Amino acid sequence: MPEVREPRFKLGETAWCPGCGDFGILESLRAALDELELEPHRVLVVGGIGQAAKTPQYINANGFCGLHGRALPPAVAAKMVNPALTVIVNTGDGDSYGEGGNHFLHTIRRNVDIAHFVHDNQIYGLTKGQASPTTATGQVTHVQPSGSPSLPMNPLMLALAMGAGFVARGFSGDRDLLTHLMIEAIRFRGYALVDILQPCLSFNKINTFAWYKKRVYRLDETHDPSDLSGALSKAQEWGERIPLGILYRREKPLWSDHLPHLAGVPLVDRQPDPAVLQALLDDLT
């Protein structure tokens, strides 16, 4: 009989609404971490502020919740200081693409080895339903009674245009695929984005589970993830058909590859030399 292994990662009680798509994402995260046979003390899950960003509080890894829009900088810092740590960011579409949009762009440019899982419910969930950067133009919300006046951004196109090496889309209702995408994103050496379609039952009455279910389809072997123009073309598919899977994958040098002083003993294991620090301070005076 095959050995049945106790899962290492355990989930806590959540404050999410019953039926929220965030549950499927959390379950896939746990399954991915277990399948990779990682140890909880060697994993860091980072969030900002929002429903999605509460994820670090619900899984028994190391966790950090930053400010709204500011999940990526502490994640980058943690990875630079302690490269042996598996660093994962779980944040919402507002957190990642709105308030955190600037960090999103520049984290891609730096290509730090972290996995970024965006719970994209196309709404600001925690603050009760304002339009987010991915809300459709014209979609009526509590504070946009005449409909959102802005164009929605396309995070996959943006990530590809910025040079991201791993760009994927998942759906909280397709857990097997989502787990696979998370595993591949964590294994990828470099910044990896998985934009995850996630129904918000309470505040987005348009992009429901049924809305997504009717439209999503899995990319098959005819899609070549090493082909950037094919990926850009798939990233533009939205509406009646929405592709799920790895749109693009190509490894490139990491930020740390260009920073020779980070080679060797990781910063976390180095002892600061007070004489060197003092010399630096003296130099400033």
Ligand X SMILES: Cc1ncc(C[n+]2csc(CCOP(=O)(O)OP(=O)(O)O)c2C)c(N)n1
Question: Which residues have C-beta within 8 Å of that of residue 155, sequence separation ≥ 6?
Answer: 93, 96, 97, 104, 118, 120, 133, 134, 193, 195
Identify the residue among 24, 47, 48, 125 touching ligand SF4 (CB under 6 A).
125
Tokens of 206: 């348009």
Radius of gyration of the chain (CA): 20
Smaller CB separation from ligand X, 111 or 121: 121
Q: Which does 170 bind (CB under 5 to 8 A by kind): Mg ion, ligand X, ligand SF4, none?
A: none
Interface with Mg ion, residue 152, by CB under 5 A: no
Q: How far is the CB of 129 from ligand SF4 (least distance, A)?
A: 8
Work out what residue 68 binds among ligand X, ligand SF4, Mg ion, none; the CB cut-off runs from 5 to 8 Å by kind.
Answer: ligand X
> Is residue 121 at the binding interface for Mg ion, with CB under 5 A as the rule?
yes
- Alpha carbon 273 to its chain centroid, in Å, reads 36
Query: Do strands 115-120 and 86-92 pair parallel, antiparallel, or not at all (unpaired)?
Result: parallel
CB of 162 to ligand X, least distance (A): 20
CA-to-CA dists, residue 93 to 57, 116, 200, angstroms: 19, 11, 12
Angle between helices 72-81 and 101-110 (to 10 degrees): 30
* Stretch of 7-15, 85-93, 138-146, 158-166 lying at the interface with Mg ion (CB under 5 A): 85-93
Measuring CA to CA, which residue among 186, 161, 194 is closest to residue 25? Answer: 194
14 vs 256, which CB is nearer to ligand SF4?
14
The CA distance from 167 to 194, in Å, is: 6
Site string for ligand SF4, 141-180 (x = CB under 6 A): ----------------------------------------
d(CA 285, CA 270): 26
Beta strands 216-218 and 192-197 are: unpaired
Angle at 230 between CA 99 and CA 255, to 5 degrees: 50
Is residue 139 involved in binding ligand SF4 (CB under 6 A)?
Answer: no
24 touches ligand SF4 (CB under 6 A)? no
262 CB-side CA count, 13 A: 15
CB of 16 to Mg ion, least distance (A): 12
Stretch that binds ligand SF4, among 106-114, 134-142, 199-207, 243-251 (CB under 6 A): 199-207
- Of 124 and 191, the one with the shorter C-beta distance to ligand SF4 is 124
- Which of 54, 87, 90, 93 touches Mg ion by CB under 5 A? 93
Is residue 203 involved in binding ligand SF4 (CB under 6 A)? yes
| Binding partner of residue 155 among ligand X, ligand SF4, Mg ion, none, CB cut-off 5 to 8 Å per kind | none
Task: Point out which residues bind Mg ion (CB under 5 A).
Answer: 92-93, 121, 125
